[in-house]
Chain A
């Protein structure tokens, strides 16, 4: 593994189903983030984690949950998917989550909720 990986690459999901998007990084970064990207809008932060064992809510957290059991993994769960959660989801990480930290992005997961 080099950098950040996400799985699956794409998924079509029925409304009401539960779904977990996976994110793994091998850079030993402390901070990790989940964003969604929708056409015409900027990246919007869903949840973040500044270090293993801690998580925080971003701009659009409703309908999503995260956990950070260890440094490398940061899964995002949709408990009961709705069509408005159709989006491209990006996971990112940065060394410390502080000023000047560059965020590095995974390849994204394209999710369609029908």
Chain B
């Protein structure tokens, strides 16, 4: 079966660094996406990885290990506005996204 696992909730402090992990199991693999979703809003695209390694984009970085079926999203210099849910999604062989339930990130001052 296809499955995406990520922690339900994490708490971090403003200005700190947090790493959100995701493990995936998909039928075929065409990449791993991270989306951000603020409460009551639509998901918005953060990153896409299809090759192993780290992709850096400002304060946000995303890592992929295809052999381990593992990805993480790294958020640096946390700001209060980063309080949101972070959704991990794997793209399967049919180019469909399989979504995790999301990790709710709570930022404390």
User: Which A residues form the contact surface with B (CB < 8 A)?
Assistant: 40-45, 48, 58, 90, 97-108
Contact = CB atoms under 8 A, between A and B. Distances in A.
B91 A107 contact: no
A85 to B, nearest CB: 19
Given A41-B101, A42-B102, A99 B44 contact: no
Interface string B76-99: 000000000001010100011111
Nearest to B88: A42
A105 B95 contact: no
Range, interface on chain B: 20 to 34
Contact of A99 (B30, B45, B87, B101): B30
A40 B101 CA distance: 6
Interface of B: 4, 30-31, 33, 41-45, 48, 50, 87, 89, 91, 95-102
A91 to B, nearest CB: 9
B84 to A, nearest CB: 14
Contacts of A48: 96
Contact of B87 (A42, A104, A107, A108): A42
23 contacts: A41-B101, A42-B4, A42-B89, A42-B100, A42-B101, A43-B43, A43-B87, A43-B89, A44-B99, A48-B96, A58-B96, A90-B42, A90-B43, A99-B30, A99-B31, A99-B50, A99-B91, A100-B30, A100-B91, A102-B45, A102-B48, A105-B43, A105-B44
